[in-house]
A = this chain, B = another copy of it.
Amino acid sequence: MGEFELIRHYFAAASCARAGDGVALGIGDDCALLALAPGEQMAVSTDTLVAGVHFPQGADPLLLGQRALAVAASDLAAMGASPLGFTLALTLPSFSAQWLQGFATGLDAMAERCGLRLVGGDTTRGPLSLTLTVFGHLPHGLALTRSGARPGDLLCVGGRLGDAAGALPLVLGQRHAEPAVAGPLLAHYWSPLPQFALGQALRGRASAALDISDGLLADCGHIARASKVALRVERERLPVSNALQSLLGLEQAWSAALSGGDDYVLAFTLPPEEETTLRAQGAVFFVIGQASVGEGVTLVDRHGQDITPTIRGYQHFAETP
């Protein structure tokens, strides 16, 4: 048995690889078999992370395993889907039991947290990269797309913004901060939590949704374009963490919140009459602006003054000029 076949057996033994609801056949045959309840659809998304582009070459494998699955699973949450399973395509330059142990532990922890099962994959030799394809299920016709926002809808986000962008210089070792500041930021970067509960609560209520991966302004641009509306973001309403403010100051924290990527919290539009119902269900979210007739994304200050910056969305760190 070759090393790479050993790796396959290794993942097959992980606790997230056990069979369960919706997984009729898991790892070990030519295909996995997935089942849906009557009236359901399957949501599918694929994400690739490349060493040196999406994470540092020497990244801790446990943190990488956690983050890779969270990043991919966040797309399911953004669609309003319930978690089902995932496949892992892992390309490794060499065999390291220690690396694999760490990676599988992190992957398993996030899989457990998200309720996702490992159903198949491929392991090959080559430059370090990962491709995860995630599967979710949801009732027919209730998926949250980007295209349903209407003038008058509230623009909302499901959590604080900018922490991952604030963490990046710490991840890259370009900057240091005291543990009380660095801790929460690094936790958010390495272990974002896909907002499955919020996404499911938004089914049939939100008019459009996505997860923030490119940066708030860039991602709001996706909703505005797909929905053919204008979106106005009010800067003073942006939720930013105390840790981020301590690290960067308020002005720069806003900047990270607007243009930093990798937050993986949901952004969505909500007809105003849905706000009370949603909060009564226990959903936690922040209203940061509104949709109107028109196009594009505008940033305003507390006086309503247009202060739209010419900041582009986040570029993966190796691509940053």
- Complex Cα distance, B44 from A125, in Å, reads 22
CB of A311 to closest CB in B, whole Å: 15
Verify A120–B29 contact, CB threshold 8 A.
no
Q: How far is the CA of A91 from the CA of B133 in the complex (A)?
A: 15
> Which chain B residues lie closer than 8 Å to A53 at the CB level?
124-126
**Which of A88, A145, A146 gathers most chain B CB within 10 Å?**
A145
**Interfacial chain B residues near A44, Cβ < 8 Å:** 31-34, 87, 119-120, 133, 135
Contacts of A89 in B (CB 8 A): 46-48, 89, 131, 133
CB distance from A89 to the nearest CB of B (A): 4
Which range contains the number of A residues in contact with the other chain? 35 or more
A45: Cβ under 8 A from any B Cβ: yes
Most B CB contacts (10 A, CB to CB) among A46, A79, A147 go to: A46
Q: Which residues of B contact A211 (CB under 8 A)?
A: 30
Contact between B79 and A31 (Cβ–Cβ < 8 Å)? yes
> Which residues of chain B have C-beta atoms less than 8 A from A291's C-beta?
none
Q: Once the chains bind, are B45 and A42 in contact (CB under 8 Å)?
A: no
CA distance A46 to B89 in the complex (A): 7
Point out which of A87, A124, A136 has the most chain B C-beta atoms below 10 A from its C-beta.
Answer: A124
Q: Is A25 an interface residue (CB 8 A)?
A: yes
Q: Is A145 in contact with B29, judged by CB distance below 8 angstroms?
A: yes
Q: Which of B76, B124, B145 contacts A54 (CB 8 A)?
A: B124
Chain B residues within an 8 Å CB radius of A316: 124-125
- Residue A255 at the chain B interface, CB threshold 8 Å: no
Q: Which residues of B contact A136 (CB under 8 A)?
A: 31
Q: Is A24 part of the binding interface, using a Cβ–Cβ cutoff of 8 Å?
A: yes
A-B contact pairs, 26 of them (CB 8 A): A29-B147, A30-B78, A30-B146, A30-B210, A31-B45, A31-B75, A31-B143, A32-B45, A33-B44, A33-B79, A35-B42, A36-B36, A45-B87, A46-B131, A46-B133, A48-B91, A50-B124, A50-B127, A52-B126, A53-B125, A54-B124, A87-B133, A91-B129, A124-B316, A125-B319, A126-B127
Which 10 A/B pairs are nearest by Cβ-Cβ distance?
Answer: A50-B126, A131-B131, A31-B43, A127-B127, A46-B87, A133-B133, A89-B131, A30-B78, A30-B75, A31-B79
Which positions in A face B, CB cutoff 8 Å?
2, 24-25, 28-36, 38, 41-54, 75-76, 78-79, 81, 87-89, 91, 119-122, 124-127, 129, 131, 133, 135-136, 140, 143, 145-147, 209-211, 226, 315-316, 318-319
Given contacts A30-B75, A44-B120, 13 further A-B contacts (CB under 8 A): A25-B143, A30-B76, A31-B43, A31-B78, A31-B136, A35-B42, A36-B42, A46-B87, A46-B89, A46-B131, A126-B127, A126-B129, A133-B133
